[in-house]
Amino acid sequence: MNENAIAILGGTGDQGLGLALRFAKAGQPVVIGSRKLDRALEAAEKVRQAVPGADVEGLANEDATPRAPIVILSVPFEHFASTVKGIKEKLADGQVVVSMGVPLAAAVGDGAVRTLGIWQGSCAELVKSLVPKGVDVVSAFQNVSAHRLQHLEEPVECDVIVSGAKASRERVMALCELVPGLRGIDGGPLSNARIVESVTALLIGLNIRYKVSEGLGIRLTGLPGESSGS
């Protein structure tokens, strides 16, 4: 395992590919996972085209999982449980699984501007209930737009609220700082993921009302150490 690598399962999709591009651009080794090896290879090639010299490889999800200490799940909410069950045996103590899933009501044919109630409280806590005991789960990146991640020429301009056990969330907050414009915010315990996930549904509604095709992000103001800009 390369200690600096980041695995992104479902990294063939909009959000995962966006993160892969950004982390590759920051010089991190990236492993893109897919259910199909050829799709993973194709996505890795896209990253290489956009970021010459990128250290990126494509593998099947189950082979990508043991390759990195941090494994980001980037599949639609309705496929989280089956995806986690499919890689569970490949996870080892000390690995951190990042959930950026949002339980949008669209998963059951309703709108994308509302979330579903999840028995465990959030998508991230559902993941926590499924991974082996020694594996931590961190919630992050739900409020970042795929479109903005993929446009490498612009900073992303979004705060990322990161929740989970302290040491693990600090590792993921450090990842945020690698991407121009992203800022990791200490979001406390994993149970706060339910609030962060529901903000995404709110942002989708705002995107519609304000006709923002690039996707809105969030910014907190007044944090200690922040310059007023004046």
Ligand X SMILES: NC(=O)c1ccc[n+]([C@@H]2O[C@H](COP(=O)([O-])OP(=O)(O)OC[C@H]3O[C@@H](n4cnc5c(N)ncnc54)[C@H](OP(=O)(O)O)[C@@H]3O)[C@@H](O)[C@H]2O)c1
With contact defined as beta carbons under 8 Å apart, do 141 and 121 qualify? no
d(CA 206, CA 164): 27
Helix ranges restricted to H, 67-192: 80-87, 123-130, 146-150, 166-176
Token duo for residue 217:
């992000």
List the beta bridge partners of residue 139: 99, 163
For residues 176 and 169, give the distance between their C-alpha atoms in angstroms, rounded to a whole number.
11
Q: Closest separation between CB of residue 55 and ligand X, Å?
A: 20
Nearest residue to 44 via CA among 71, 55, 36, 35? 55
Q: State the nearest-atom distance from the C-beta of 166 to ligand X, in Å.
A: 24
Please identify, using beta-carbon distances, which residue of 35 and 88 lies nearer to ligand X.
Answer: 35
Number of residue whose CB is nearest ligand X = 13
CB of 65 or CB of 145, closer to ligand X: 145
Q: Give SS3 for 230.
A: coil
The least distance separating ligand X from the CB of residue 82, rounded to whole angstroms, comes to 6
Q: Give the DSSP per-residue string, 189-221.
A: SGGGHHHHHHHHHHHHHHHHHHT-TT-------
CB of 25 to ligand X, least distance (A): 18
10 Å Cβ neighbour count for 195?
15
Measured from the CB atom, the residue of 113 and 144 that comes closer to ligand X is 144
Least separation in angstroms between residue 84's CB and ligand X is: 10
Nearer to ligand X (CB atom), residue 52 or residue 111? 111
Least distance to ligand X, CB of residue 183, Å: 16
* Of residues 82 and 134, the one with the C-beta less far from ligand X: 82
CA 39 vs. chain centroid, Å, equals 19
For ligand X, give the closer residue by CB, 201 or 226.
201
Binding site for ligand X (CB under 6 A): 10, 12-16, 34-36, 39, 74-77, 79, 82-83, 100-102, 142, 144-146, 200, 215
